[in-house]
């Protein structure tokens, strides 16, 4: 199964981002919009994993205190449009600790530099710089081990454990 470790978004942040996505559509920005239910912040992408319980066991060791997560600016990686989050030592620490726990357990993951973001649109075309970035904050109280799978031609993300 295809797995990743993520922070789920609060209902308030989802609602804020839904408004921004609606504005983008109205202003002619095209692409593959992420379903609101799939919006999240990835801490580590694992890819195909046979044994999710091994991952869950490794992540049990990650300790953190609840912390604030705030929306920042819009940005892009080529044709992927994303919502950034404010620089946050607690977030960076959790991401580092998740990756260290995976390393200690010998679990492979994508080792690209951690750039905290929420993917909004893939294969995006249009002038996204005309959009005013939304503002909002939430408290992070858990991290989740998520499964990604195709169902009826759409990606569906399902939480299989939380910490």
Q: What is the largest CA-CA distance in the chain?
A: 47
**CA–CA distance, 62 with 144 (Å, rounded to integer):** 12
The answer to whether 40 and 119 are in contact (CB under 8 A) is no
The answer to whether 84 and 120 are in contact (CB under 8 A) is no
Give pLDDT, residue 87.
78
Backbone angles phi, psi at 129, to 5 degrees: -70, -10
Q: Is the torsion defined by CA of 112, 6, 99, 115 positive or negative?
A: positive
User: How much of the chain exceeds pLDDT 90, in percent?
Assistant: 97
Give pLDDT, residue 104.
98
**CA–CA distance, 107 with 85 (Å, rounded to integer):** 27
Q: Which domains does the chain have, with CATH numbers?
A: 2-162 (3.90.1140.10)
> Tens digits of per-residue pLDDT, 84-131?
999 799 999 999 999 999 999 999 999 999 999 999 999 999 999 999
Q: What is the mean pLDDT of the chain?
A: 96
**CA–CA distance, 155 with 114 (Å, rounded to integer):** 23
Here the tokens at position 124 are: 């995006």
Query: Mean of the pLDDT values across residues 130-138?
Result: 96
Query: Mean of the pLDDT values across residues 138-158?
Result: 95
Give pLDDT, residue 116.
97
The kind and range of the H/E element at 43 are: strand 40-48
């Amino acid at each position: 199964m295809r797995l990743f470790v993520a922070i789920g978004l609060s209902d308030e942040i989802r609602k804020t981002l839904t408004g921004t996505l609606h504005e983008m559509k109205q202003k002619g920005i095209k692409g593959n919009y992420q379903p609101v239910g799939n919006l999240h912040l990835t801490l580590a992408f694992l890819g195909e994993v046979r044994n999710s319980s091994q991952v869950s066991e490794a992540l049990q060791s990650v300790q953190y205190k609840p912390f604030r997560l705030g929306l920042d600016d819009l940005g892009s990686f080529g044709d992927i449009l994303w919502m950034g989050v404010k620089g946050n030592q607690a977030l960076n620490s959790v991401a580092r600790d998740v990756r260290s726990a995976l390393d200690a357990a010998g679990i492979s993951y994508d080792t690209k530099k951690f750039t905290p973001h929420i993917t909004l649109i893939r294969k995006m075309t249009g002038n996204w710089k005309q959009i005013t970035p939304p503002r909002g904050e939430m408290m992070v109280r858990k991290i989740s081990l998520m499964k990604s799978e195709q169902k009826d031609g759409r990606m569906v993300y399902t939480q299989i454990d939380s910490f």
